[in-house]
């Protein structure tokens, strides 16, 4: 009771001060289309509550809390309107309203539960008529088709027709967006495949270039090895020529030394023979002189 009286007092004070909607206390619940309904008579069902509260807007969801074992109502629940502005009308007009001897408490409710989960459900939404997804027809044909499907005696006929038209337009826009998205995805896939093919061809060309470069390096290495072997062979051939020339010079020098030694030996032998002959001649002369000297003395003596 205290909460209902406080809500009434705040509403009357806002009316007296002529406070705008943006400055009202309802503005803090502008993102929540839910209301809390308490102190509900236990005999009322979900349909009865919808009948009472639907005079301020279209009800999409109702959650009447019941006992899990017996299924009886606990006297409170939550309602969801299609438009959040309907919650303001319901709170201002049905709060502190006496129904079957019980005073209702109607207040704004958060869109999330105590556990932090969002309230979901569309169990009270009116069943939508099956839409024609054929996009080939014109708008006039669509409107005629929609009007033919809605009951002409329905008091909500205009609202339902507008709603169906909006939904059909949304469906068409969504289909176009999906078509564009699929086309874009297909183009992206084709472009991705082309990029993959190009990258593969580039990688293959790079591999071919690497293989060619390796073959060139191997050929250069083979050429270098061949040139080295040729240079070594030339060097060895030069060494052989130099060795042969050196040996030839050594042999020539040795032969000359031998010839010189032989000539010296011959000269020595000749000198020896000449010396011996000379000595022999000198000796023979000295002997002959000595003989002649004796004979001359003897002659002189006689």
Q: What does 165-223 look like in DSSP terms, one character per residue?
A: HHHHHHHHHHHHHHHHHHHHHHHHHHHHHHHHHHHHHHHHHHHHHHHHHHHHHHHHHHH
For 27, the token pair is: 């503005």
- pTM, two decimal places: 0.41
Quick one: pLDDT at residue 134?
Answer: 46
> What is the tens place of the pLDDT at every residue in 160-178?
778 788 888 888 888 888 8
Element (H, E) at 139: helix 139-149
Name beta bridge partners: 112: 118
Quick one: pLDDT at residue 85?
Answer: 85
Quick one: pLDDT at residue 204?
Answer: 85
Quick one: pLDDT at residue 302?
Answer: 46
Quick one: pLDDT at residue 135?
Answer: 47
Q: Measured between alpha carbons, how far is 285 from 60 in angstroms, rounded to an integer?
A: 176
Furthest-apart CA atoms within the chain: distance in Å: 221
Among 36, 88, 89, residue whose Cα is nearest residue 63: 36
Contact 54, 128 (CB under 8 A): no
| Pairing mode, strands 98-99 and 73-81 | unpaired
Q: Phi and psi (nearest 5°) for 118?
A: -75, 140
Contacts of 161 (CB under 8 A, 6+ apart): 143, 146, 147, 150
SS3 (DSSP) at 8 = helix
Quick one: pLDDT at residue 265?
Answer: 74
Domain ranges of the chain: 2-125, 127-261
Q: What b/e sequence results for 224-251 when a residue is b if at least 16 CB atoms lie within 10 Å of its CB, and e otherwise?
A: eeeeeeeeeeeeeeeeeeeeeeeeeeee
Q: Measured between alpha carbons, how far is 164 from 168 in angstroms, rounded to an integer?
A: 6
SS3 (DSSP) at 71 = coil
Quick one: pLDDT at residue 122?
Answer: 64
Q: Measured between alpha carbons, how far is 133 from 115 in angstroms, rounded to an integer?
A: 39
Q: Measured between alpha carbons, how far is 176 from 182 in angstroms, rounded to an integer?
A: 10
Contact 87, 109 (CB under 8 A): no
Point out the residues of the chain with pLDDT beneath 70.
1, 8, 20-23, 120-144, 149-157, 239, 291-302
Write down the CATH number for the domain with range 2-125: 3.30.70.330
């Amino acid at each position: 009771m205290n909460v209902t009286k406080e809500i009434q007092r705040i509403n009357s004070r806002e009316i007296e001060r002529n406070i705008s909607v943006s400055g009202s206390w309802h503005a803090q619940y502008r993102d929540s289309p839910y209301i809390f309904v308490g102190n509900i008579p236990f005999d009322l069902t979900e349909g009865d509550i919808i009948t009472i509260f639907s005079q301020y807007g279209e009800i999409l969801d109702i959650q009447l809390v019941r006992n899990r074992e017996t299924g009886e109502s606990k006297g409170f629940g939550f309602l969801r309107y299609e438009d959040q502005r309907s919650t303001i009308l319901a709170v201002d007009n049905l709060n502190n309203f006496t129904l079957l001897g019980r005073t209702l408490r109607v207040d704004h409710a958060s869109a999330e539960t105590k556990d932090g989960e969002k309230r979901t459900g569309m169990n009270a939404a009116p069943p939508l008529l099956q839409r024609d997804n054929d996009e080939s027809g014109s708008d006039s044909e669509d409107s005629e088709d929609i009007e033919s499907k809605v009951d002409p005696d329905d008091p909500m006929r205009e609202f339902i027709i507008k709603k169906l038209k909006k939904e059909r337009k949304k469906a068409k826009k969504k289909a176009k967006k999906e078509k564009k998205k699929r086309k874009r995805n297909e183009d992206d896939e084709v472009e991705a495949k082309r990029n993959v093919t190009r990258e593969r061809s580039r990688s293959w060309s790079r591999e071919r270039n690497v293989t060619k470069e390796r073959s060139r390096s191997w050929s250069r290495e083979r050429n270098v090895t061949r040139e080295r072997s040729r240079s070594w062979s030339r060097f060895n051939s030069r060494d052989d020529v130099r060795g042969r020339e050196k040996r030839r010079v050594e042999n020539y020098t040795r032969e000359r030394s031998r010839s010189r030694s032989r000539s010296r030996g011959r000269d020595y032998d000749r000198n020896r023979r000449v010396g011996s002959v000379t000595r022999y001649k000198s000796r023979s002369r000295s002997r002959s002189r000595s003989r002649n000297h004796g004979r001359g003395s003897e002659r002189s003596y006689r």
